[in-house]
Structure 1
Amino acid sequence: MSTTPDLKFAFGNFNYICSTVSLTLCPLVGDADGIEPLCYSRNVKLADTLIFQPSTLIIHLIALVMTAIMIYHIRSKYTAVGRKEIIMFFYLYMLVTIMDLLLISGIIPTASNLYPYFTGVHLGLISATFWCLLLNGFVGFQFAEDGTPLSLWSIRISSFVVFAAVTFLSIATFQKLGPFDPMHPVALWVIFFIFNGAALLIYVILQIVLVVNTLDDRWPLGDIVFGIAFFATGQVILYVFSLDICNFAKHYIDGLFFGTIATLLSVMMVYKYWDSITKEDLEFSVGSKQNVWEVKELLGEDEMAGGGLYGQQQHQGPPGSGFGYNGNSPASGPYGQANFYEDRY
């Protein structure tokens, strides 16, 4: 049987959430010593260093590899719409994963004086990632032409502003600066759940409208549905069933393990969706084997037209007979080919 906390879920309060799952901000809010989850994944000792959440750490490493692969494929689609915009989202997700890896695993220990600042940066990157995804939802509507300085820098600057604002708010809350109090982190709670959740919801709505109104193909809707299903499943496991999983697995894994997997799958579906709605102009692409093959095919057709069947017919006669390129016969066209079909048929 799982241990159920006596605390109840409350608006603006992390006590219930942090007693269920170990988030990076939990050691810094709710109490002078933070909030410790009632059940969490057991740690391992590696080179005289305790590594927390080892199973989740492996998933983070896998996420970094998969994100690098997705970025490579996005960069290889040279003429795809929104390529430069969407790649910012994946770079931000990679940074979030790296910060998550450092903080959750204990590589940066909670007792360190730097831990609150790294956590503030981590929360800022999370909000900037959701914001960047939201702005990518507008790219397909071409309010600003994709790839232009207006489109790129509006996303970069606004994402940086969100990152800086949330990072400052987080550090101010952890350090109890001004009106911000770690015992009552209401503003941080609103940013973490409402702001980020609203950005994701608006993005999904925008993409559904885009697919329904502008695309003939409805298959991309399946990518959206799977992405939302993965993300929602991960959040439910993370905040509802983490204690049950932890106790059932005898502390080897907890909800954070499955939540990280679900988040990775949802990010992969964002890539799959973007890839399904963007078409690359192969004529202007470079560096792709497929494109090189297509150019060779076109050259083959030209060669066949200039030196293949026509060329054989044109060079059958002696020079000046009218069948060569320099022939002056009235039956030949300006290139010695115009009346070929008349001669043949």
Structure 2
Amino acid sequence: MDDSSKDTTGTDATGPDVEVRTLADLARVAGVSAGTVSRALAGKSLVNAETRERIQALARQYGFRPNQMASKLRSRRTGVIGVVIPLGHEKRQTISDPFFLTLLGHLADQLTEAGYDLMLSRALPDGTTDWLERITGSGMVDGVLLIGQSDQSEIIDKVAAHYRPLVAWGNHREGQKHIVVGTDNELGGRLAAEHLISCGARNLAFFGDTAGIEIAMRLRGARAAAEAAGVPLTHVPIKLADAEMGPQIEAAFAATSANYDGIVTASDLIAMSALHILHERGRRIPGDIQIVGFDDLPLARLTSPPLTTVRQEIAQGARVMVDKIRALIEGETRHSKVMPPTLIARETTRS
């Protein structure tokens, strides 16, 4: 009986109704084994192209859809990647932070293109040491992507020692066990301070809370540049949580010693808040104070004036993170990737 004699409802036009509900049913219609059907529907090259195309055409003709859940159970895969934001040092920071949203959006796009679903979790370690173990050992995900390391690098390293499909956005240090994709934060801090100094700034401040390793390294780079130039730099701890950031920046500018003429900020978000507060105080940017952000978020070019900042390659980083997690799931070996930052000069400095 020729395949063309069947209609699209799965009814044999010259005989009784034919029901195709299982792989075995489709295998009988195609005259092959159930294993061949399974491999053909999965697009495996083990099945020759002609047979593969014929089986796929029959599946379409009979409206056959493989049981995806059963397939995942057989392969011991969930088709889900966990995306976790650890907030060990910034418990009041929210997922709506523009940096989180920017990286999360790129990760979601890349995971969808790779055929994965995404499970998002905002982790608040709060003194516990098993927060990551609970996620990796849940059986609900095939791998975990971390947006940041917070102050949890040691715990992440401990898990990475026995759980391979784990990749973090963050700062890489020598001897670190977990795989990281991120920016050379120390170099970024140095570029920001050097740029301010080259633009005439002679009394620098660094705005940012250094409990997280990425920001600590940015301060380290800024300090190195200031020391090399013989320029003072004051560290002003500023939290990234909205409720604390504004008041802390207000207090920093209200201090009698706050005669800064150049500010390196740990993030674009802090820089934007500082710009708003300085505007309310009638200070001219960059005439009175010059400011450099960090991240180059899409909003950075829309501030008034447009923000000079250190660019992180967030979109590229998301692609690399997903490529690495896919390879690790398949048992391949991968290593960390540290990307160079770029100084983007706009109008908050006198470049």
Alignment TM-score, normalising by the size of structure 1: 0.32
Higher relative contact order (CA 8 A, sep 6+): 1
Alignment TM-score, normalising by the size of structure 2: 0.31
More helix per residue:
1
More strand per residue:
2
Larger radius of gyration: 1
